[in-house]
Amino acid sequence: MQKIRSSEITPEHVYLSRRRFMRLGTLALGSTALTACGGQLGETLAGRSAPAASAEPVAASTSAPEIKRDEFGDPANSFETISTYNNYYEFTEDKEGVARLAANFKSEPWMVTVGGLVSNPRTYDIDDLRRKFDQEERIYRLRCVEGWSMVIPWIGFPLHKLLKEVQPKAEAKYVRFESLLDPKQYPNQGPFSLYPWPYTEGLRLDEAMHDLTLMVTGLYGKPLPNSNGAPLRLAVPWKYGFKSIKAIVKIELTAEQPKTLWNTLAPNEYGFYSNVNPQRPHPRWSQATERRIGEPGRRPTLMFNGYAEQVAGLYAGMDLQVNY
């Protein structure tokens, strides 16, 4: 029998998406009618993404209309979509309202303190971080715990480069991140807010040292938009989006597992790890499938958001149903 080369095998996500496409093709019901009607729903169901609400500068669109793609070949979402549809609860709980409220956010000057259990605690100016570490583009998938996902071309540098500079001590086991606390700039941090601000997140030290863990300073080759967490945010692509904390002012190495905002609010729903895991259902949102923004229907969610090859080893021997 002739051996089939691995390059000839259709990857799972491709045939699953084909199946989905065929299923949609057979749906002569409402969706076809809607597609024929056009408009935003029609185009979404036909698999075309809607035109951007406000056009990008003409120069940018005429020079290189090259589409960025992730390693599976899926196209990146547009700058417009990424910067105008996301969660940033310090501003508002309305994903569409963030960009407007964030327009006047003051992200310069910006200082980031890195301390805790380190030999060389330091405070960096955001410009130092941009200059000191090579800024590279990483095209990552972002899977929100709410069941939607995007492909995003971030600009940034791996966190391990920064950690190497401050030299974690032997007792350091975790990294704690803290966002800006500033009720003057964040309307939803006001006196009636029910959230325990500031936003906090955490990683195990080996997760933080992983090369995929990115400190983000930009998007599509431009500075990070305010709505996406300017001037400095995290991107941990194999975890649900809320782990990728925005507007970071403090990074601390700790011996104990740090408290995180969502874990504090609803520990049964949002675990400390919060790795993307289609086998671990959430009471409200499907974690088995996701809606890729700009695509019709749903696609299967991949273990560790498709980064299993790189990160599964971090969790060898752990029960991921318990350590969710």
Partner 1 sequence: MNWLRANWLRVLVHAGALAPLGVIILDNYRYNLTANPIQEITVRTGKAALVLLVLSLACTPLNTVFGFRQALQVRRALGLYGFMYAALHLAIFAVLDYGLDLQLIGQAIVEKYYVIAGFVAFLILVPLAITSTRGWMARLGKRWKSLHKLVYLAVPVAVLHFALLVKSLSSRPEPLIFGAVVIMLLALRIPVIRRASSKLRFKNAPFRPKRVPGSAD
Chain contacts with partner 1 (rule: CB under 8 A): 20, 23-24, 27, 29-31, 34, 37-42, 44-45, 50-51, 53, 77, 81, 84-85, 93, 95-96, 148, 193-195, 265-266, 281, 283-284, 286, 288-289, 291, 293-294, 296-298
Instruction: Give the whole-angstrom CA distance, residue 260 versus residue 201.
Output: 5
Cis amide bond preceding 198, omega within 30: yes
* Four-residue CA torsion sign, 44, 46, 49, 54: negative
Q: Quick check: helix, strand or coil at residue 99? A: helix
Q: By C-beta, is 78 or 217 nearer to partner 1?
A: 78
Q: Which is nearer to partner 1, 92 or 310 (CB)?
A: 92
Q: Name which of 78 and 244 has its Cβ closer to partner 1.
A: 78
Give the number of other Cβ atoms within 10 Å of residue 239's Cβ.
Answer: 26
**Spatial distance between the Cα atoms of 75 and 178, rounded to a whole number of angstroms:** 32
CB of 207 to partner 1, least distance (A): 24
For the CB of residue 1, give the shortest distance to partner 1 in the complex, in Å: 32
Least distance in Å: CB of 286 to partner 1? 6
Q: 3-state class of 100 per DSSP?
A: helix
Closer residue to partner 1 (CB): 24 or 205: 24
Parallel, antiparallel, or unpaired: how do β-strands 214-219 and 122-125 relate? unpaired
- For 215, the token pair is 């400190």
Residue (96 or 136) nearer to partner 1, CB: 96
* Nearest Cα to Cα of residue 31 among 41, 20, 19: 41
| Beta carbon nearer to partner 1, 44 or 200 | 44
CA–CA distance, 84 with 86 (Å, rounded to integer): 6
**C-beta of 42 vs 121, nearer to partner 1:** 42
> Which two structure tokens, joined as six digits, stand for 124?
């960096």
Number of other CB atoms surrounding residue 281 within 10 Å: 12
Distance of CA 66 to the CA centre of its chain: 22
Q: Which is nearer to partner 1, 9 or 22 (CB)?
A: 22
Q: Please report how close the Cβ of residue 159 comes to partner 1 at its closest, in angstroms.
A: 28
Residue type, 60: A
Please name which of 205, 246, 199, 267 lies closest in space to residue 102, comparing C-alpha atoms.
246
Instruction: Give the nearest distance from C-beta 139 to partner 1 in angstroms.
Output: 18
Q: Which residue has the tokens 């971080």?
A: 129
Q: How far is the CB of 272 from partner 1 (least distance, A)?
A: 18
Q: What angle do CA 262, 144, 255 make, to 5 degrees?
A: 40
Q: Supply 168's token pair.
A: 């974690």
* CB of residue 246 to partner 1, shortest distance in Å: 17
Shortest gap between Cβ of 18 and partner 1 (angstroms)?
Answer: 13
Q: Scanning the structure block, which residue is given the tokens 């350590």?
A: 323
CB of 40 to partner 1, least distance (A): 5
C-beta closer to partner 1: residue 110 or 148: 148
